[in-house]
Structure 1
Amino acid sequence: MVLLKMKFPFQKRVRLAQGLWLLSWMAVISGALTFSMGLFLKAELHRQAEVMDNTQIHAVPNTLMMIGLASLGINFFAGRICQDSLDASRFPRWKTFMLPYFILSLFFTILMLVAVIMSYAMKGNLEESLKIGLKNGIRFYKDTDTPGRCFQKETIDRLQMEFHCCGNNNYKDWFEVQWISNRYLDFTSKEVKDRIKSNVDGRYLVDGVPFSCCNPSSPRPCIQHQLTNNSAHYNYEHQTEELNLFSPGCREALVSYYMGLMNSIGAGVLSFLLLQVSVLVSLRYLQTSMEAVLGQENTEIETEGYLLEKGVKETIKEMMDNVLKFFHFNQVDASVGLEAEAGEKPATPAD
């Protein structure tokens, strides 16, 4: 049974071709935008690569960039087909090209849908990547003289100032690591010696945070050190002085930022997906309605167009049968080749 059959008079075919030409160029622009969004997202992820533990989340921008480039080529050819479909003498040259074109277009359309789903489903991987990456970044904050970690302090400071955050989960994460380098500690001081001896790891731990955690909106000068000692500062209560430091952790701030980007990009790609589906459906109707014109003396006759020559189940079954026949044919060829090689005997010299 033919699926979604429609009648196309000559004028309707012309309007279909003209409308499809416009849609195809809109899809070309959407392909360029998809590539640009993927490139922008990859650059934003790369900008914070030092505080991310893995690169799995780069699958989203990489997929978007690949889809964008493929969409440029696919829809450019769709525009060419539309132009030639207005001339019955030029359309036949695309006949053998249409099947692989539809298969390739369908593949990248499905891949576009996968990219949309991935953009909404990457929150878990992003959180885990940032959790470990930020933990290591804070731990290596003091290693400004260690090769490979020289810029870790600058990265964390810039991150906290840009995203108005402090620590991994909150400012108390800085209490658990030695973030002041030994080169800036006076080991002859009794206070320094007592602090180092007070913990089993021999680290210099303080109830303080780096300057980059300070909130410029605070009504009082920033308090970085002895944050839990109320008596060390005049008119101070550390449990209520939330405006003095950035309250959210950097993991929460970064996840919110990147998921906002991915959700916006996902919505944009979803709209491009609908546009791409419209191009494929329109092109299929144009192809089937034009094929009925081939061989006719009067090219302005009314023709019929459809999406599938048979039903969905029959079409899928036929495609699966063709795939199985293809693999079966290759296996037969391989077995025949092996039998031929086994049947050959080495030549012996005549006595």
Structure 2
Amino acid sequence: MGEYNEKKETCGTICLKYLLFTFNFFFWLAGMAVMAVGIWTLIQKSDYISLLPSSTYAATAYILVVAGAIVMVTGFLGCCATFKEKKSLLKAYFCLLLCIFILEILAGILAYIYYQQCTPFCSQLNDELKQSLKETMTMKYNQPGQEKVTKAVDGLQQEFKCCGSNNSKDWEDSVWIKSPESENRLVPDSCCKTMTEKCGVRDHPSNIYKVEGGCITQLEAFIRSHLLIIGAVGLGIASVQLFGMIFTCCLYRSLKSEPY
């Protein structure tokens, strides 16, 4: 009977090891995906993110990169702890899982609250953008030494299919539009639905984007949608982590009578 119990316990431990290894493999992949999203945001979206008046939005991309790296390290540690059957490693792994779990729950809840109750966050964002984005567009667009801003504004207007900070009339105050260099353009060519050379000389709705609220509205919608995604992903991964913590506790208990 004693030999049967020992054999049964060993089989249970093996099953737990493979369950935990499978979890850690997918957890590691999730960390890689999170880090990839952060890196993609910094590379692909860095131009128009630089137009925002606060560095908070760019910081979220760096947070994703760091969080993804931590998750990958945690997943690797979990694999080592599982196959080496070291109780000390399992303890460290469980603590890291618990910390990440708590942070993801908090991040998910906060993102959801910001999404549902956008004021004063959105109103503050909108006011900042109205003041800063219009000034950036009108004062720096196509000016000497402002090539990065010019590229960012063009990319913003083309990607979000908008024209101007609040509306296309914002460009009436543009230093560049008022100068001879604009060659009688009323708006930049990037405002055009079909972008061609000097298409900005005609600001008819059939030619340029006349989006209600301008680029501010599009940016705000973009940020709101990402808050929702961040909240859903955070809560989703956190719920999956519960299984990892349960498997870790079960494996730890099964190793109590075994040597380190």
Confirm or deny a common fold (TM above 0.5): yes
- Sequence identity of aligned pairs in percent? 23
2:178 is aligned with 1:162: no
Structure 1's 258 and 43: CA in aligned 2 closer, same or farther, altered over 3 A?
Answer: farther
Q: Do the aligned residues in 1 keep the contact of 2:38 with 2:64 (CA within 8 Å)?
A: yes
**Higher relative helix content:** 2
The whole-number CA distance in structure 2 between the counterparts of 1:183 and 1:247 is 25
2:216 is aligned with 1:251: yes
The whole-number CA distance in structure 2 between the counterparts of 1:163 and 1:287 is 52
Structure 1's 57 and 49: CA in aligned 2 closer, same or farther, altered over 3 A?
Answer: closer
Q: How does 1:23-62 map to 2 (within 5 A)?
A: 23-62=23-62
2:81 is aligned with 1:116: no
Structure 1's 29 and 68: CA in aligned 2 closer, same or farther, altered over 3 A?
Answer: same
Q: Do the aligned residues in 1 keep the contact of 2:20 with 2:82 (CA within 8 Å)?
A: yes
**RMSD of Structure 2 on Structure 1 (CA):** 3.4
Residue 255 of structure 2 aligns to a residue whose secondary structure is helix
Alignment correspondent of 1:278: 243
Any stretches of 5+ residues in structure 2 without a counterpart?
1-7, 116-120
Between stretches 114-123 and 160-169, larger displacement belongs to 114-123
Between stretches 171-180 and 66-75, larger displacement belongs to 171-180
Amino acid at match of 2:258: L
Structure 1's 108 and 260: CA in aligned 2 closer, same or farther, altered over 3 A?
Answer: same
Q: Do the aligned residues in 1 keep the contact of 2:164 with 2:215 (CA within 8 Å)?
A: yes
* Larger-gyration structure (1/2): 1
Aligned length: 240
| Deviations 1:282-309 (CA, angstroms, capped at 9, x unpaired) | 1012112321x237xxxxxxxxxxxxxx
Cα drift, residue 81 of structure 1: 2.4
| Deviations 1:156-183 (CA, angstroms, capped at 9, x unpaired) | 2333233211011211222344442545
Q: How does 1:303-342 map to 2 (within 5 A)?
A: none
Q: Do the aligned residues in 1 keep the contact of 2:35 with 2:67 (CA within 8 Å)?
A: yes
The whole-number CA distance in structure 1 between the counterparts of 2:55 and 2:201 is 34
Any stretches of 5+ residues in structure 1 without a counterpart?
1-8, 85-90, 186-205, 228-240, 296-351
Residue 244 of structure 1 aligns to a residue whose secondary structure is coil
2:187 is aligned with 1:209: yes
Q: Do the aligned residues in 1 keep the contact of 2:39 with 2:61 (CA within 8 Å)?
A: yes
- Calculate the TM-score normalised by the size of structure 2: 0.75
Q: How does 1:208-227 map to 2 (within 5 A)?
A: 208-216=186-194, 224=201
Structure 1's 119 and 37: CA in aligned 2 closer, same or farther, altered over 3 A?
Answer: farther
